[in-house]
């Protein structure tokens, strides 16, 4: 029983890699529309047929479990990947046992299917003995720990004959464990194959032009989804882009030595005020507390400035992040009139740098102080204001 779908050249290459005994796992990842989900379905169907032939398996009331097909969330698997399966694989070749989340092929072998968010399923992996797994949109899985149970369940043998154990991951580019494991580490048994839209002759003519138009304001996503680039993309919903962090790591200090004080003000709730005295990127003093008024904070900053001066580390500037909390810099400027050393007082207010999109997000985030901190940090890092200590 065959499918009418013929694999593309790239899909064939992926299948050949999976057939290589040295390869245990393949990440087939990259551009949108390259044919990744289709490959996963074709491969799972082909392996099922191959195992039936190779091990002379017969139809049974209790089909042999051979693997797992899934995605991060079971609902997404059913809505998208399983729908694709239904369009590719002839309906007479399989049946679904939805209650048990089983996909039975030729009444002989079966796959578990569903989401790695399902604890019942993960428990099933504990006692399962399987040979293969296909995980679609694997970039949605936040941590490699979530797939350990799955990896450990690949231990099937048939009549004491060895069975190849393989995992196919398909994904769109995103920074994280997939990139670390399959692209950066270059392990011999965990292999990466880039998928490109140009590998897939079945896409409609206007596919790429439409994508370019839709993503014209997000060049990083366009590079990932059109060109299959894993270089810079940190995921559509990831706020702090890997690229910014790398840039911050490269930031070098300029001589002469600088001593400064940096303060991030919090006034209410669980959030805390943080004041750091810095000698270049080295923290020499710190003062962290919650729920104090702005006068208290101005006093604390002044006290730190004087202490640093007596240590021979007189601060030449004090930067205060006053977002949503103006006042501290005004009080400090008053105090400064009687100081006996020059010091620049700088108000850092990232809200002024914001685009309307950020502004709107910030308003939504106002009830959550942690979220606000992340957004401030993000803006500072993105504007080159943040320096990551390299010592």
Ligand X SMILES: Nc1ncnc2c1ncn2[C@@H]1O[C@H](COP(=O)(O)OP(=O)(O)OP(=O)(O)O)[C@@H](O)[C@H]1O
Residues that bind ligand X (CB under 6 A): 5-8, 11, 32-38, 172, 195, 200, 202-203
User: Looking only at residues 155 through 174 of this chain, which bind Mg ion when binding is defined by CB under 5 A?
Assistant: none
**Residue 60 vs 87, nearer CB to Mg ion:** 87
Distance (Å) of CA 162 to CA 87, 157, 172: 33, 5, 33
The helix or strand, by DSSP H or E, that contains position 1, with its residue range, turns out to be none
Closest alpha carbon to 369 in 240, 271, 239: 271
Residue 49's binding partner, choosing from Mg ion, ligand X, none, with beta-carbon cut-off 5 to 8 A by kind? Answer: none
**Residue 42 vs 328, nearer CB to ligand X:** 42
* Residue 65 · residue 77 · CB < 8 Å: no
The distance of closest approach from Cβ of residue 34 to ligand X in the complex, given in angstroms and rounded to an integer, is: 4
Q: Look at the block and give the residue holding tokens 């880039």.
A: 194
Kindly state the number of chain residues that form the binding site for Mg ion, as judged by CB under 5 A: 2
DSSP, residue by residue, 174-229: -SSHHIIIIIIS--TTEEEEEE-GGG-TTS-TTHHHHHHHHTTT-HHHHHHHHH--
* Residue 50 · residue 96 · CB < 8 Å: no
The distance of closest approach from Cβ of residue 37 to ligand X in the complex, given in angstroms and rounded to an integer, is: 3
Residue 284's binding partner, choosing from ligand X, Mg ion, none, with beta-carbon cut-off 5 to 8 A by kind? Answer: none
The distance of closest approach from Cβ of residue 193 to ligand X in the complex, given in angstroms and rounded to an integer, is: 12
**Residue 37 vs 241, nearer CB to Mg ion:** 37
The distance of closest approach from Cβ of residue 153 to Mg ion in the complex, given in angstroms and rounded to an integer, is: 24
Token pair for 345: 């007082």
**Residue 135 vs 260, nearer CB to ligand X:** 135
* Residue 173 · residue 233 · CB < 8 Å: yes
Residue 7's binding partner, choosing from ligand X, Mg ion, none, with beta-carbon cut-off 5 to 8 A by kind? Answer: ligand X
CA-CA distance, 71 to 139, in Å (whole number)? Answer: 10
Residue 11's binding partner, choosing from ligand X, Mg ion, none, with beta-carbon cut-off 5 to 8 A by kind? Answer: ligand X
Residue 322's binding partner, choosing from ligand X, Mg ion, none, with beta-carbon cut-off 5 to 8 A by kind? Answer: none
CA-CA distance, 196 to 201, in Å (whole number)? Answer: 11
Residue 153's binding partner, choosing from Mg ion, ligand X, none, with beta-carbon cut-off 5 to 8 A by kind? Answer: none
User: Looking only at residues 29 through 48 of this chain, which bind Mg ion when binding is defined by CB under 5 A?
Assistant: 36-37
The distance of closest approach from Cβ of residue 171 to ligand X in the complex, given in angstroms and rounded to an integer, is: 9
Residue 164's binding partner, choosing from ligand X, Mg ion, none, with beta-carbon cut-off 5 to 8 A by kind? Answer: none
Q: Count of H helices and E strands in the chain?
A: 14, 15
The distance of closest approach from Cβ of residue 145 to ligand X in the complex, given in angstroms and rounded to an integer, is: 24
CA-CA distance, 252 to 15, in Å (whole number)? Answer: 47
**Residue 31 vs 318, nearer CB to Mg ion:** 31
Dihedral of CA 88/12/30/20: which sign? positive
Closest alpha carbon to 265 in 256, 257, 275, 255: 275
**Residue 32 vs 174, nearer CB to ligand X:** 32
**Residue 33 vs 115, nearer CB to ligand X:** 33
**Residue 229 vs 272, nearer CB to Mg ion:** 229
Q: Which residues bind Mg ion (CB under 5 A)?
A: 36-37
């Amino acid at each position: 029983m065959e499918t009418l779908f013929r694999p593309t050249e790239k899909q064939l290459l992926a299948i050949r890699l999976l057939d290589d005994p040295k390869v245990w796992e393949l990440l087939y990842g990259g551009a949108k529309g390259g044919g990744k989900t289709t490959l996963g379905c074709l491969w799972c169907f082909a392996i099922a047929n191959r195992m039936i032939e190779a091990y002379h398996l017969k139809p049974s009331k209790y089909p042999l479990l051979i693997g797992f097909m899934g995605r991060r969330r079971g609902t997404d698997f059913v809505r998208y990947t399983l729908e694709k399966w239904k369009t590719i694989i002839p309906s007479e070749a399989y049946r679904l046992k939805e209650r048990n989340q089983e996909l039975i092929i030729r009444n002989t072998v079966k796959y578990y299917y569903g989401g790695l968010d399902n604890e019942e399923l993960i428990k099933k992996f504990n006692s399962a003995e399987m040979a293969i797994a296909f995980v679609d949109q694997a970039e949605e899985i936040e941590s490699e720990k979530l797939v350990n149970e799955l990896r450990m369940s690949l231990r099937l043998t048939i009549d004491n004959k060895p069975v190849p154990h393989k995992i196919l991951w398909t994904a769109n580019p995103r920074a994280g464990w997939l990139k670390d494991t399959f692209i950066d580490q270059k392990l011999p048994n965990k292999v990466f194959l880039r998928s490109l839209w140009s590998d897939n002759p079945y896409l409609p003519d206007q596919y790429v032009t439409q994508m370019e138009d839709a993503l014209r304001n997000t060049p990083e996503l366009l590079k990932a989804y059109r060109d299959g680039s894993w270089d810079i993309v940190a995921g559509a919903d990831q706020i702090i882009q890997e690229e910014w962090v790398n840039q911050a790591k490269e930031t070098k200090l300029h001589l002469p030595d600088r001593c400064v004080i940096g303060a991030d003000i919090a006034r209410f709730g669980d959030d805390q005020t943080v004041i750091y005295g810095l000698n270049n990127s080295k923290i020499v003093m710190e003062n962290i507390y919650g729920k104090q008024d702005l006068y208290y904070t101005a006093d604390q900053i002044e006290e730190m400035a004087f202490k640093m001066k007596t240590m021979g580390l007189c601060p030449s500037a004090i930067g205060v992040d006053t977002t949503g909390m103006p006042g501290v810099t005004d009080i400090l400027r008053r105090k400064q009139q009687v100081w006996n050393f020059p010091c620049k007082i700088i108000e850092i207010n990232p809200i002024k740098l914001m685009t309307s999109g950020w502004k709107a997000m910030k308003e939504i985030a106002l009830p959550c102080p942690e979220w606000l901190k992340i957004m401030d940090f993000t803006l500072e890092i993105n504007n080159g204001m943040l320096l990551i200590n390299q010592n």
